Structure 1
Amino acid sequence: MTTNKNGLAYQRILLKLSGEALAGEEGLGISPDRATDIAQRVKQVHEMGVDVAIVIGAGNLWRGRTGLNAGMDRATADYMGMLATVMNALALMDAFERINLMTRVQSAIEMRSVAEPYIRRRAIRHLEKNRVVIFGGGTGNPFFSTDTAAALRAMEIGADVLIKATKVDGVYDKDPNQHVEAKKFEHLSYIDTLNRRLEVMDSTAISLCMENKLPILVVNLWDEKALAKALLGEKVGTLVDEG
């Protein structure tokens, strides 16, 4: 893997966080302590000279599947999830700015009192001005996941890699928390990931990355050094690319 003049393997990243990353021990709600932990990790890589954009899910506040199982309309359930991602984005923004990390939240669903509308060129300009940009509201359309939103935004801002932050140190053939014999993959192709139905991201997001040759790196967010090591080009987590 080649590095730039700053010794970085990636200059601009899109970090995809699950909503559960903000949750407390119960797996629900927003924990200010968790938000602070994430902010410190982002600040560490930001100070390395990396442009950072973020997409966060909403699973800590709302799961559309819950509504669907109760007979809710799919579009309504998805819009509720999109609104919840904006709440998570605001919580992250607050945590970032408390440690002096300048941040902008852009929402695909307009709510001008709390967030900028998503404008691609403005987002890129914020990154050029050394600000972290958090994208809320998913894609702005129902029937698309925040995984797909992350892939889309990564392409739009010219990210070098899409980093999927998880609770484990990569992609396994089965859940490593339940199976001690689970095998970790250090490298996968997009096609292998799709064919094996590995839970890296949803198939729409992976296909979008494949079509645009955007690598996906899966790392453990809670390993204090994993993200920095990945950006320096060290082998960390699981890399998904053309193979």
Structure 2
Amino acid sequence: MKEVKYKRIILKLSGEALAGDKGFGIDKATIMNIAKQIKTLNELNVETSIVVGGGNFWRGKKSGVGMDRTTADYMGMLATVINALAMQDALESLGVFTRVQTAIEMRQIAEPYIRRKAVRHLEKGRVVIFAAGTGNPYFSTDTTAALRAAEIEADVILLAKKGVDGVYDSDPLLNPDAKKFEVIDYKDILNLGLGVMDSTAASLCMDNQIPIIVFGIEQPENIVKVVMGEKIGTQVKEV
């Protein structure tokens, strides 16, 4: 079998990706399809960690209009914990050893985030799911993915998107002539305001030279294909 290109990865999943066509909550078939791809990576000895969003339940300041921003963001962090536990359950039903680590301590249901412990889990072949964002308001789960990738020295961030299969120069849903990039520099993401990920996350990846691959999650098998080195989606790196 072809060798994997990346040995330690962070897979960033949006909450919407777990909702499937329902748009809200968790779609069992969708999350199981994603879990099966992660199991394949685990069997290939790829050290896999996951950062999950919470947009299928709560979208921070968008859902909490009129609320205190800090409160709304903490509610969003709790939504990511729901998704993390659901993903853990799906993976363990397939026989994949999994640990959820949360940035907000809740010992009854998950481990607190400890960098050295997370790395040790990965070395032992366990999938680690990072939940509750960074534990701080005003930071997105994209920033969480960038931060955790730097901390655990991940080879790449896989940014699995719903509704788009890469980075375009304009919104492909609004502009049928939008141009898709195969490779793009971090600086262009920031300067052009392309909205792939928030500026804090993009800057953190740029400063730490962490490559990002943006691709569509509608076909979950893309996760394995990207790790095997197939050219899918858009690669964000220093050009």
- 1:74 aligned to 47, 69, 74, which one? 69
Q: 1:51 to 1:75 in 2, by over 3 A?
A: same
1:10 aligned residue: 6
Residue 184 of structure 1 pairs with residue 180 of structure 2: yes
Q: 1:33 to 1:242 in 2, by over 3 A?
A: same
Residue 158 of structure 1 pairs with residue 145 of structure 2: no
- 2:108 aligned to 104, 108, 113, which one? 113
Structure 2 Cα separation of the partners of residues 67 and 59 of structure 1:
9
User: How high is the TM-score relative to the length of structure 2?
Assistant: 0.95
- 2:47 aligned to 44, 51, 56, which one? 51
User: How high is the TM-score relative to the length of structure 1?
Assistant: 0.93
Shift of the alpha carbon at 1:170?
1.0
- 2:129 aligned to 124, 128, 134, which one? 134
Shift of the alpha carbon at 1:172?
1.2
Identity of aligned residues (%): 59
The AA in structure 1 aligned to 2:173 is N
Structure 2 Cα separation of the partners of residues 225 and 75 of structure 1:
37
SS in 2 for 1:23: helix
SS in 1 for 2:21: coil
Q: Is the 8 A contact 2:211 2:237 kept in 1?
A: yes
Shift of the alpha carbon at 1:92?
0.3
1:42 aligned residue: 38
2:170 aligned residue: 174
The AA in structure 2 aligned to 1:104 is R
SS in 2 for 1:25: helix
Structure 1 Cα separation of the partners of residues 220 and 83 of structure 2:
22
Structure 2 Cα separation of the partners of residues 150 and 11 of structure 1:
17
SS in 2 for 1:75: helix
What's the RMSD between the two structures over aligned residues? 1.5
Structure 2 portions without partners, runs of 5+: none
Residue 26 of structure 1 pairs with residue 10 of structure 2: no
SS in 1 for 2:101: strand
Comparing 147-156 with 224-233, which one deviates more in the overlay? 224-233
Q: How many residues align?
A: 238
Comparing 7-16 with 201-210, which one deviates more in the overlay? 7-16
Shift of the alpha carbon at 1:82?
0.5
1:3 aligned residue: none
1:125 aligned residue: 120
Shift of the alpha carbon at 1:163?
0.8
Alignment deviations for residues 209-230 of structure 1 (CA, whole Å, 9 cap, x no partner): 0000111111122324422222
Structure 2 Cα separation of the partners of residues 146 and 112 of structure 1:
21
Q: Is the 8 A contact 2:48 2:128 kept in 1?
A: yes
Alignment deviations for residues 92-135 of structure 1 (CA, whole Å, 9 cap, x no partner): 00000011111000000000000001000000000001000000
Structure 2 Cα separation of the partners of residues 20 and 225 of structure 1:
18
